[in-house]
Amino acid sequence: MRIEMNKISGLFFLLAVLPVYLGAQVQFVSRAEVPSEWDDHDYLVLPTREGTIAFRAKAKKGFSVEQRLQYFFTDRDLRGSQVYEVPVEDYFDLIGFDLDDEYLYTLFQKGESYSNEKIVYEVDLRNHQVREVKLDNILEMELQEFLIMDKKAILMGVMDYRPAIQLLDTETGSVLTVQGVYANEVSILQLRKDPELKVFDVLVSKRDRYKKRSLSIMTFDLEGNKLREVKVEPENRPDLEIVEGILTPMDDYSQVLIGPYGQRKRDPNMGVYFSRINEFGEYENKFLTLADFQHFYNYLPEKQKARRERKLARNIEKERDLVLPNTLVTREIVAGKNYFLVYNDYYLTSSGRFSPRDMMYSSDFYRYAPLSMRNRVVPGGYPWYYPGTDVMSNNEYKFMAAQFLLLDGEGKLLWDNSLSLKDVTTTSPGKFGEVSFDGSNLYYLYLEDEKLQLSYLHNGEIELKNETIDLALINEDERIKDTQGESLSLSWWYSNYFLLSGKQRVRYLDESGKEEIREVFFMTKVRADASLMHEDVQEQ
């Protein structure tokens, strides 16, 4: 079934007059705006080869049940297209999305019940033709991830407290259930597609009848055939267990798995392991502890840092077990030529129910957010929520530090450092900040109270810590009247550029000089660059 494409005649605003410098090392380069009412859903923004695509579901008019899928494109300078509209079924909600080559796929579900109807809309971004695919004969599961590869939909969810994966052929409608995933005491940590090899990896945590935990990497083709399974355990160390991890893309048929590990049945956080897995499924683990992290306590004030380091030195001298008292979670791995930058969050949770040891993983690689847009989840379920997490609960997470490790290709630690996150408390356990790293320069950016916070490391040394940057417009004749804090989203884009988006009310003067206010969804291209500090000095 093909649906004719309607187009919106509304204006697309683009403000890219002059770059605005904010702070010593940040530049607001360009900005795009589209009209948006305050109560509308936010646009979800995904990177493309040329720039971005933004999309959302919106009622046709007011409180009408008739709704549309709206989308538009920008290039990397945020020069934008018009806004396009696709009619979608009434009473259906957007619950999943992905990009595959030149196609945008959106998954809609009628109501909240897992058994309700589901429809996929395939939008050809070259000619704006739309194909509707109804999902029949799929399992009644709580969806946690939706990926598309080569016109095959990968549906991953939970049914009866067990994980399940199904493959849907969007052209024929056939469905098959992937074998070897649905089992007791199993949790999926990461689902990663590899379009070049036409395979997908499933990283799972398993616990056997003796309550011993291990990780397994299962690789499947698009016909559901298991090509390999690698069970990763702390060999020759029965006292340890690997808690979770992040799997890197394949490089010459080898992969790397990195994450936290701990003592079995005791302390879940002792450090970070590194496993390089070759094409035959063989691997070797390396374990890093607090004794290896020379700068782990750099996030603390000087006196407190000195006390912790003295205590650590005594424990090392007395050969005591070195344990991290709080939760260390690996959030991201930046794989370069012969190096791996590892970004960990270190935080304290108010409820043990959500600790990694209790099978509620803090790593957010399998939430409704492919293509690095994982920080879409905000408190209150706006617009997404963490499957399996009670959004009405009162759990809080106090973020203490962002830790960075640079490892060489064999897992040797080159440098480490930690940045203070100022004990910011949130109700979301998700990834705290965004990272840009080129091998020498590391920029770490996050949102706090509708402001940006920037830190900068050069070759592992902290040059700038938590510099506060106010949000601003590029057109200096206009002013921000309001910013909808819960709509703000920050993501790394490419190179040393980040993308900030959300909803604002902007005050401006019309042609007659009368003050007007417009409500918009905006995207701002943010550049982080140490050289900007030197430029400012030269101008002065």
Beta bridge partner(s), residue 3: 130
CA distance 217 to 258: 13
CA distance 479 to 278: 55
Question: Measured on CA atoms in the order 228, 229, 233, 238, is the torsion positive or negative?
Answer: negative
Contacts of 64 (CB under 8 A, 6+ apart): none
pLDDT at 62: 58
Cβ atoms within 10 Å of 290's Cβ, excluding its own? 18
- Preceding omega of 383 cis (within 30 degrees of 0): yes
Helix, strand, coil content of the chain in percent (nearest 5): 10, 50, 40
Write the DSSP string, 375-387. GG--TTTSS---T
- State which H helix or E strand residue 315 sits in: helix 302-317
Antiparallel, parallel or unpaired: β 130-134 and 2-3? antiparallel
Boundaries of domain holding 341: 233-382+391-432
**For residues 310-333, b (16+ Cβ closer than 10 Å) or e, as one string?**
eebeeeeeeeeebbbeebbbbbbb
pLDDT at 426: 85
Note whether residue 96 is domain-resident.
Answer: no
CA distances from 464 to 117, 375, 453, 470 (A): 51, 24, 10, 17
* 330 and 259 Cβ atoms separated by less than 8 Å: yes
Quote the tokens at residue 421.
């996150």
* 140 and 190 Cβ atoms separated by less than 8 Å: no
**Number of folded domains in the chain?**
1
Please write down the HEC assignment for all residues of 206-230.
EECCCCCEEEEEEEEECCCCEEEEE
CA distance 69 to 57: 5
pLDDT at 8: 43
Taking the model in full, what pTM does it have? 0.90
Contacts of 236 (CB under 8 A, 6+ apart): none
Question: Measured on CA atoms in the order 517, 43, 76, 81, is the torsion positive or negative?
Answer: negative
Going by C-alpha positions, the residue among 153, 203, 147 that lies closest to residue 176 is 153
CA distance 369 to 352: 25
φ and ψ at 380, to 5 degrees?
90, 0
Residuewise pLDDT in 10s, the chain (540 residues): 333 444 443 456 555 545 766 666 899 999 999 999 998 989 999 889 899 999 999 877 655 567 899 999 999 999 989 999 999 998 888 888 899 989 999 999 887 777 778 999 999 999 999 999 999 889 988 888 889 999 999 999 889 989 999 999 999 999 999 999 998 888 888 888 999 999 999 999 888 877 778 899 999 999 999 999 999 988 878 888 887 889 998 887 789 999 999 888 777 789 999 999 998 899 999 999 999 999 999 999 999 999 999 999 999 999 998 999 898 989 899 999 899 999 999 998 876 544 444 333 444 443 334 333 333 333 322 333 333 334 445 678 899 999 999 999 999 999 999 999 999 998 777 789 999 999 999 999 999 999 999 999 999 999 999 999 999 999 989 999 999 998 999 999 999 999 999 999 999 999 898 999 999 999 999 999 987 754 443 444
Note whether residue 295 is domain-resident.
Answer: yes
CA distance 368 to 506: 31
Note whether residue 285 is domain-resident.
Answer: yes
Distance, C-alpha 539 to centroid of its chain: 38
Cα three-residue angle 128-134-135, rounded to 5 degrees: 130
Question: Measured on CA atoms in the order 137, 195, 432, 305, is the torsion positive or negative?
Answer: positive
φ and ψ at 532, to 5 degrees?
-65, -30
Note whether residue 528 is domain-resident.
Answer: no
Note whether residue 321 is domain-resident.
Answer: yes
CA distance 524 to 31: 4
Note whether residue 246 is domain-resident.
Answer: yes
Note whether residue 266 is domain-resident.
Answer: yes
Beta bridge partner(s), residue 471: none
Going by C-alpha positions, the residue among 389, 426, 483 that lies closest to residue 42 is 483
Residues in the chain, total: 540
Contacts of 384 (CB under 8 A, 6+ apart): 367, 368, 369, 376, 377
Note whether residue 269 is domain-resident.
Answer: yes
For residue 461, the number of C-alpha atoms closer than 13 Å in the C-beta half-sphere is 3
Cβ atoms within 10 Å of 464's Cβ, excluding its own? 19
CA distance 28 to 16: 10
CA distance 165 to 155: 6
